[in-house]
């Protein structure tokens, strides 16, 4: 018989079961719908691995496959400040270990963030040492750092890459798409100890390492250039200095250096102005070195022969209300002597004989006023105004390199064209791109841009330029063993309202051996203190560099 | 039914029963063997995976070491360092123009 007690018990059981069911449904709702997303993410974090696999950046070699930029493994140390106790003791130990000021570390450890970098890309092994200081709160990740084993050597050519491995300057920036490679992915699961379970791997794609660059630069020639430039820069207390060495027949750049310079391993410690590759970015008035172009145009047009006489007005010449002066006043000079003795008045008269249009045509043809297309970032065009913008005074300035600006790379390319018999070559700094196995992926063959003068004109001009070194203003560049062709330049520095008193740019550009040129060298010294003539400041640098480079080339030729 | 026939029937049932027992036993052993094989195979794969990962780590460490040694070797052979040693420690100089240089060729 069913009593009330039975009914009550049945009701109680049903009530308990219903309450339990309601509770379970509520939890189900809570877990699946309310917290579902968060819990799924938490679970995923606990047992899933999702790594981005960084590729190795390509190596940069010189032309003899000597490494100029490589990669090394480093540690990056981070902290979770909330978990570090006691802060004071840890700060002291970290400061000693990482060689960072305690104030900087303390500031980072007192941050309310859950993640702070303590030191990025430090020496391998430091991470493990730091981790031992505190079991919780301090950790490290392994990363790859770009390393320039030759320090400051070729700094402006190589440039540098940032913390994220992206090229920021120089070749690192220009060829970033080849050097950087492509990242890979690893999506897998891990066990309770954090080890990856390979059999549960969902997706894996290996990183593709970057390609390697082989430059036209020779590190020995680069070193010679840098050492001599540094000496001249220090001695003359100049504001800046540049040297470019080119193979005239191919346009290959063998060395390029600037002062002031920087160490790409610690580029952040230098001013941005020190990172600038002045040889390709900065324009300057070339001064008398530009007489090479004026003379080339006049010879090519057949307006003058080498022995034709030009009256140089005894050093003073009035043109459109302005007086043009020569440092050494001269009367009648032959065309050859005008260049040898670097007469401004003689150059102006040659320019006037050419006229605006023809002179301008040759200036443009020699590559001025346009980028050369050298494979370096930030190349400048220089400044060449069209003849319609020239004033009455322009023909009294441009023939000897005023009222016009050129870049060092443009000037050395133009002179290389004279050296190789009249063909303007595109300057290049990368010879080829190779893969890990050393197979050539892309080869940059020498590229002739156009013929600018005939071989006959080039030969006549070479004779004149040999005369400059043997008899004229460039005697300091003379070598016993080789015939050197070259031209000095001393240009005033233009400022607001005219030329700045006492500020000059001394330069020398030349090539050797004059009969079969192997190298063309340009030396530019910006605002030297004391003596400022191209013939006394830049020409000796040219000689010392040329002497050593030729000895080195002869030695390597013999060896080969 | 005679007693003989009864015994025969009993033996037949017993035989049938034994056959079923053996059959189930074999099937059970087979089943557990498959399970064990499956588990063993999974564990072996897991272990092999750990060993592969360990070897990959070792390889990466060797690559890192190699890079470190390369960086040291290249730094030591830097032309500016060699020149400093040649000039300052060995007292060598760059030969001036026209100066004869004797080369010792070892064959």
For A182, which DSSP code? B
Instruction: Tally C-beta pairs within 8 A across A and B.
Output: 69
Per the listing, tokens 């000597």 go with: A66
> A196 vs B74: CB contact, 8 Å cut-off?
no
User: Which chain A residue has the Cα nearest residue B41?
Assistant: A199
Test the B interface: residue of A147, A229, A263 with most B CBs within 10 Å: A147
| Count of CB atoms situated within 10 Å of the CB of A281 | 17
Pick the last residue of a domain from A180, A214, A248.
A214
Is the same domain home to A261 and A362? yes
Does A12 map to a domain? no
- The CATH number linked to A515 is 3.40.710.10
Decide if A288 is catalytic.
yes
- The CATH number linked to A142 is 3.90.1310.10
Is the same domain home to A62 and A112? yes
Chain A residues within an 8 Å CB radius of B80: 150-151, 153, 223, 226-227
CA distance A102 to A14: 68
A73, A196, A479 member nearest B67 (Cβ) = A73
> B70 vs A67: CB contact, 8 Å cut-off?
yes
A67, A150, A195 member nearest B53 (Cβ) = A195
Does A45 map to a domain? no
Does A42 map to a domain? no
Range of the domain at A167: 51-214
Is the same domain home to A329 and A386? yes
Does A96 map to a domain? yes
Residue B57's SS3 state is: helix
Quick one: which of A61, A227, A62, A219 has its CA closest to A552? A219
Which secondary structure element, helix H or strand E, spans residue A140, and what is its range? strand A138-147
Is the same domain home to A277 and A210? no
Give me the number of domains chain A comprises: 2
Chain A residues within an 8 Å CB radius of B56: none
> A70 vs B67: CB contact, 8 Å cut-off?
yes
Is the same domain home to A95 and A118? yes
Is the same domain home to A309 and A286? yes
Is the same domain home to A517 and A368? yes
pLDDT at B100: 66
Is the same domain home to A158 and A295? no
Is the same domain home to A437 and A491? yes
Does A16 map to a domain? no
Q: What are phi and psi of A247, to 5 degrees?
A: -90, 110
**CB contact set of A1 (below 8 Å; sequence gap of 6+):** none
Tell me the sheet residues that pair with A448. Answer: A425
Question: Which residue among the candidates A76, A236, A288, A507 is catalytic per the annotation?
Answer: A288
Chain A residues within an 8 Å CB radius of B44: none
Test the A interface: residue of B72, B74, B87 with most A CBs within 10 Å: B74
For A503-515, letters b (16+ CB in 10 Å) and e give bbbbbbbbbbbbe
Is the same domain home to A196 and A224? no
Which secondary structure element, helix H or strand E, spans residue A254, and what is its range? strand A252-259
Strands, E, within A6-111: which ranges? 48-53, 60-61, 67-79
- Residue by residue, pLDDT tens for chain B (107 residues) are 577 888 888 888 888 888 888 999 999 999 999 999 999 998 998 899 999 999 999 998 898 889 999 999 999 999 999 999 999 999 988 777 666 666 676 66
Is the same domain home to A249 and A182? no
- Residue by residue, pLDDT tens for chain A (560 residues) are 678 888 999 999 999 999 999 999 999 999 999 999 999 888 888 888 888 888 999 999 999 999 999 999 888 898 888 887 777 778 888 888 888 888 888 888 888 888 888 888 888 888 888 888 776 788 888 888 999 999 999 999 999 998 888 999 999 999 999 999 999 998 888 888 878 888 788 888 999 999 999 999 999 999 999 999 999 999 999 999 999 999 999 999 999 999 999 999 999 999 999 999 999 999 999 999 999 999 999 999 999 999 999 999 998 998 888 889 888 888 999 999 999 999 999 999 999 999 999 999 999 999 999 999 999 999 999 999 999 999 988 999 999 999 999 999 999 999 999 999 999 999 999 999 999 999 999 999 999 999 999 999 999 999 999 999 999 999 999 998 899 999 999 998 888 778 888 899 999 999 999 999 999 999 999 999 999 999 999 999 999 999 999 989 987 766 65
User: Which chain A residue has the Cα nearest residue B54?
Assistant: A195
Strands, E, within A24-158: which ranges? 48-53, 60-61, 67-79, 116-122, 138-147
What does the longest C-alpha to C-alpha distance in chain A come to?
147
Q: For chain B, percent helix, then strand, then coil, each to nearest 5?
A: 80, 0, 20
A66, A151, A480 member nearest B98 (Cβ) = A480
Is the same domain home to A198 and A248? no
Pick the last residue of a domain from A214, A244, A267.
A214
pLDDT at B101: 66
**Sign (positive or negative) of CA dihedral B44, B49, B53, B58:** positive
> B94 vs A149: CB contact, 8 Å cut-off?
no
Q: Are strands A448-451 and A485-495 parallel, antiparallel or unpaired?
A: unpaired
Test the B interface: residue of A55, A192, A198, A201 with most B CBs within 10 Å: A198
Does A46 map to a domain? no
pLDDT at B103: 66
Does A460 map to a domain? yes
> A198 vs B78: CB contact, 8 Å cut-off?
no
- Tally the C-alpha atoms within 13 A of residue B53's C-alpha that lie toward its C-beta: 16
Pick the last residue of a domain from A194, A214, A234.
A214
Does A13 map to a domain? no
């Amino acid at each position: 018989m069913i009593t009330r007690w039975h009914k009550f018990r049945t009701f109680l059981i049903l009530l308990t079961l219903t309450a339990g069911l309601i509770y379970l449904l509520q939890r189900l709702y809570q877990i699946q719908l309310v917290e579902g997303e968060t819990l799924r993410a938490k679970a995923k974090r606990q047992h899933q691995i999702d790594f981005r696999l960084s590729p190795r950046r390509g190596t940069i070699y010189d032309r003899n496959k000597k490494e100029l930029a490589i990669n090394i493994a480093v540690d990056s140390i981070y902290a979770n400040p909330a978990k570090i106790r006691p802060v004071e003791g840890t700060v002291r130990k970290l400061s000693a270990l990482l060689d960072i000021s305690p104030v900087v570390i303390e500031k980072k450890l007192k941050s309310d963030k859950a993640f702070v970098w303590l030191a990025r890309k430090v020496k391998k092994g430091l991470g493990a040492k730091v981790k031992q200081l505190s079991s919780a709160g301090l950790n490290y990740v392994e990363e790859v750092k770009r390393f320039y084993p030759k320090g400051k050597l070729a700094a402006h050519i190589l440039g540098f890459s940032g913390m994220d491995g992206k090229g920021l300057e120089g070749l690192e920036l220009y060829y970033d798409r080849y050097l950087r490679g492509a990242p890979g992915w690893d999506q897998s699961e891990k066990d309770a100890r954090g080890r990856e379970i390979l059999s549960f791997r969902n997706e894996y794609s290996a990183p593709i390492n970057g390609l390697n660059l082989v430059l036209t630069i020779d590190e020995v020639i680069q070193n010679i250039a840098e050492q001599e430039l540094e000496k001249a820069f220090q001695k003359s207390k100049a504001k800046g200095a540049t040297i470019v060495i080119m193979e005239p027949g191919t346009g290959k750049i063998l060395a390029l250096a600037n002062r002031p310079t920087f160490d790409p391993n610690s580029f952040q410690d230098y001013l941005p102005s020190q990172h600038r590759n002045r040889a390709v970015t900065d324009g300057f008035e070339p001064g008398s070195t530009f007489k090479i172009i004026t003379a080339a145009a006049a010879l090519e047009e057949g307006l003058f022969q080498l022995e034709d006489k030009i009256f140089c007005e005894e050093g003073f010449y009035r043109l459109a209300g302005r007086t043009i002066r020569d440092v050494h006043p001269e009367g009648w000079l032959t065309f050859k002597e005008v260049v040898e003795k670097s007469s401004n008045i003689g150059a102006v008269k040659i320019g006037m004989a050419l006229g605006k249009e023809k002179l301008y045509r040759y200036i443009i043809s020699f590559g001025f006023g346009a980028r050369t297309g050298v494979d370096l970032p930030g190349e400048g065009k220089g400044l060449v105004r069209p003849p319609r913008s020239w004033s009455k005074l322009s023909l009294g300035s441009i023939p000897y390199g005023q009222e016009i600006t050129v870049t060092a790379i443009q000037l050395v390319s133009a002179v290389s064209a004279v050296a190789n018999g009249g063909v303007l070559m595109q300057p290049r700094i990368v010879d080829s791109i190779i893969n890990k196995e050393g197979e050539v992926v892309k080869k940059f063959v020498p590229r002739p841009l156009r013929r600018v003068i005939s071989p006959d004109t080039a030969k006549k001009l070479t004779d004149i330029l040999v005369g400059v070194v043997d008899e004229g203003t460039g005697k300091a560049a003379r070598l016993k063993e080789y015939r050197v062709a070259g031209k000095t330049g001393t240009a005033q520095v233009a400022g607001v309202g005219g030329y700045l008193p006492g500020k000059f740019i001394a330069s020398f550009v030349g090539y050797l051996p004059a009969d079969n040129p192997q190298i063309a060298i340009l030396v530019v010294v910006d605002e030297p203190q004391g003596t400022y003539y191209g013939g006394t400041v830049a020409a000796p640098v040219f000689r010392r560099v040329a002497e050593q480079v030729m000895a080195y080339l002869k030695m390597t030729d013999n060896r080969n | 039914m005679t007693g003989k026939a009864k015994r025969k029937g009993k033996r037949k049932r017993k035989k049938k029963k034994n056959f079923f027992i053996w059959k189930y036993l074999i099937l059970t052993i087979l089943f557990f063997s498959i399970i064990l094989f499956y588990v063993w195979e999974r564990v072996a794969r897991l272990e092999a995976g750990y060993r592969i990962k360990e070897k990959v780590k070792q390889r990466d460490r060797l690559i890192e070491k190699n890079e470190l040694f390369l960086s040291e070797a290249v730094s030591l052979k830097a032309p500016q360092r060699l020149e400093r040693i040649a000039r300052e420690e060995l007292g060598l100089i760059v030969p001036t123009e026209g100066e004869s240089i004797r080369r010792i060729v070892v064959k």
